[in-house]
Structure 1
Amino acid sequence: MQQQAQQDDYTRRLKRLDCCAVSDALDKLGLPGTVTGLPQRSGSQRIAGRAVTVKLVEAKAHAVALAAAPATNGAPRHLGTTAVEFAGPGDVIVVEQRTGLDAGSWGGILSLGASLRGIEGVIADGPVRDIDEARQYEFPVFARALTAFTARNRVAEAGTNVPVNVGSVSVQPGDYVIADNSAVIFIAAQEIERVLAAAEQIAGKEAAMAKKLLNGVPIAQVMGADYEYMLENHG
């Protein structure tokens, strides 16, 4: 219970920051995690939470793998539905669809289902479809591209809550995520405390600088040596 409360506190602290401050903190600490080129396609709010991951692969390759595997009982599941059922408030679904195929990695019914469960949003390294529906639900979706092409017979789900890649970043289930109109950022769970501490310090310094500007201090003075060396790690 205490660990869960601490995790929730991390998410609350992350939501008070923006991606630029968190990216600066990663730079200061020499850590990877910032991904650009995934614009917000629906919703207007910044999102933050824990990653629930989905890995998609080319359907033909997946069919070959299934044919070689032992038979399993039960009807096939649509991609993304396992993640939606697993996730809830405080979770962000992160989808890898890097097959190169123009095929939706996320769609309108999934957006509605995720919205009803209180999921924070979706980040897709690949195309998504039905974006007008996501906008109608005001459900945040960040995606590499938009498409009308269905996933059927094109891509299939290889796994839920498995390691995925987004941009140049490897994402593990349970890693922390923050996304806004500047970037999408992933923070390894074991690094969250020191990244938050550095980002909060940076955000505090920038707030103080803004206050000085509003009080009439010249901008060259405000953005002097302290700002230029702000990301240096002095231990």
Structure 2
Amino acid sequence: MKKVVLQVALDLLELNRAVHIAKEALAGGADWIEAGTPLIKSEGMQAIRLLRQQFPDAVIVADMKIADTGTMEVEMAAKAGASIVCILADADDAVISEAIRASRLYGTRLMADLINVRDPVARARELESLGVDIIAAHVGIDQQMIGKTSLDLLIALRGEIHLPIAVAGGLDAATAGEAVKQGADIVIIGGWIARSADVTSSTRLIRQSIDSPSAGVLEKKNPEEEIHSLLIQVSTPNISDAMHRKGALPGLISLCGKVKVAGKAVTVRTAAGDWAKPVEAIDIADPGSVIVINNDGGVHVAPWGELATLSCIQKGIAGVVIDGAVRDIDDIRDMKFPVFARAIVPNAGEPKGFGEINAEIQCCSQNIRPGDWIAGDESGVVVIPAERAYEIARRALEVKKTESRIREEIRRGSTLSVVSELVKWEKK
């Protein structure tokens, strides 16, 4: 069995960081190092020159994403030290042909990237006939966030062309092995390695998955299970960053300290202190859901207490969010149940029955609909629109990965401003 190539994509903005990550990846078993498009846009051909200088024996891939001037861009990358140059598969045939001629002249190979191609199989056949060297089955990060996968594209291409096929887009240790089983010749890994706190160990894990793919079929999770699994892995600041600082419910505090919750909203609108509808919502809510209560702005009287919390636990409710007050907090803290509220008071209201369950409400100035996703931890609570839950959960995980690598670089002696090159990237 031929060895499958492991290519590590350096999709960063900072060249010094990229070089360190490349060194660690090669130590872990990477075969090819890619100067990713963000790195090339940030640092230009110097990114390729420095990688070639630092790693003279490595295969350096320049992800130029060429769309025009095929000869010029291939020449630039080749003279800077690239072994392989990437071109967009949907570039005009004239551009492709010129890039191929230039790659032959300068001794490089040409990889055609199928990202966003409408009919990737038909285009791959055309590219093969034109003379490209490698086809990349690539699903971009924004497409990954809404559930598209590079494995599906790889499977569609298998048997349709006779060129080496690279696969890229959101792969990890599990899916890298699956890609090999589906016929990938080159496995391209970006964030899972480059954003790891321990790049060498993460690369070794991918290398092992590629060299010895596990038997069996990769199981697909139920979409709601996958959303929940992703949201539990990340923090509410991660989610807020993924939503461009949207969705936070200001003023809410985790009354039980270090607890975490993620679930779909069951909404309640009630009059201040009227605890009938909040308590009735417990019987309506499915296990794993989060009850979100608009208490009509009242913090002088509580619509929630210990007995309601105990009922939630018995029913399997994941947590409670209250734009208002809670009482019996000592008992609730003993239960370690996720309750988020704006105040604590001893006063209880009356069960008058005003309000509605599962209507759109406002909670801490945010509109929340039944079925929207709620995530909460010690930093606060965020609401995620149901139709974007999978996307935002995936994006939040990418934020967490990025922070993980930055955290490690700070521990090694850097600072946040140095790692982020803040002075360079200040708005001019």
Normalised TM-score (structure 1): 0.79
| Aligned match of 1:9 | 226
Q: Does the residue aligned with 1:34 lie in a helix, a strand or coil? A: coil
In structure 2, runs of 5+ residues without a counterpart are: 1-219
Q: CA deviation at 1:141?
A: 0.9
Contact 2:257 2:378 in 1 (8 A): no
Q: How does 1:133-172 map to 2 (within 5 A)?
A: 133-152=331-350, 156-172=353-369
| Aligned match of 1:47 | 261
- Which residue, out of 314, 317, 320, partners 1:116? 314
Q: Does the residue aligned with 1:42 lie in a helix, a strand or coil? A: coil
Q: Are 2:425 and 1:211 aligned?
A: no
Q: Does the residue aligned with 1:190 lie in a helix, a strand or coil? A: helix
Moved more, 10-19 or 206-215: 206-215
- Which residue, out of 18, 29, 44, partners 2:235? 18
Moved more, 112-121 or 85-94: 85-94
Residues in 2 aligned to 1:141 and 1:57: alpha-carbon distance in whole angstroms: 19
Deviation string 1:70-128 (CA, Å, 9 cap, x unpaired) is xxxxxxx9332321112243211111102436221211110001012221111100111
Contact 1:58 1:156 in 2 (8 A): no
Contact 1:107 1:129 in 2 (8 A): yes
Deviation string 1:186-216 (CA, Å, 9 cap, x unpaired) is 0010111221232122111111111222233
Contact 2:295 2:324 in 1 (8 A): yes
Moved more, 192-201 or 5-14: 192-201
Contact 1:36 1:182 in 2 (8 A): no
Q: Identity of aligned pairs, percent?
A: 28
Q: Does the residue aligned with 2:277 lie in a helix, a strand or coil? A: coil
Q: Does the residue aligned with 1:152 lie in a helix, a strand or coil? A: coil
Q: CA deviation at 1:56?
A: 0.5
Q: How does 1:66-145 map to 2 (within 5 A)?
A: 78-100=276-298, 102-145=300-343
Deviation string 1:109-150 (CA, Å, 9 cap, x unpaired) is 100010122211111001111111211211121101111111
| Aligned match of 1:70 | none
Q: Residues 216 and 131 (structure 1 numbering): CA distance in 2 closer, same or farther, change over 3 Å?
A: same
Q: Residues 94 and 12 (structure 1 numbering): CA distance in 2 closer, same or farther, change over 3 Å?
A: same
Deviation string 1:8-48 (CA, Å, 9 cap, x unpaired) is 210110110101111111117xxx31112111112521111
Q: Does the residue aligned with 2:244 lie in a helix, a strand or coil? A: helix
Normalised TM-score (structure 2): 0.45
| Aligned match of 2:381 | 184
In structure 1, runs of 5+ residues without a counterpart are: 63-76, 230-235
Q: CA deviation at 1:220?
A: 3.3
Aligned length: 207
Q: Are 2:388 and 1:174 aligned?
A: no
Residues in 2 aligned to 1:95 and 1:210: alpha-carbon distance in whole angstroms: 37
Residues in 2 aligned to 1:93 and 1:34: alpha-carbon distance in whole angstroms: 16
Indicate the structure with greater strand content: 1
Q: Residues 226 and 105 (structure 1 numbering): CA distance in 2 closer, same or farther, change over 3 Å?
A: farther
- The structure number with the bigger radius of gyration is 2
Q: How does 1:58-73 map to 2 (within 5 A)?
A: none
Q: CA deviation at 1:165?
A: 0.8
Contact 1:25 1:195 in 2 (8 A): yes
RMSD value, Cα: 2.7
Contact 2:272 2:303 in 1 (8 A): no
Q: Residues 37 and 100 (structure 1 numbering): CA distance in 2 closer, same or farther, change over 3 Å?
A: same
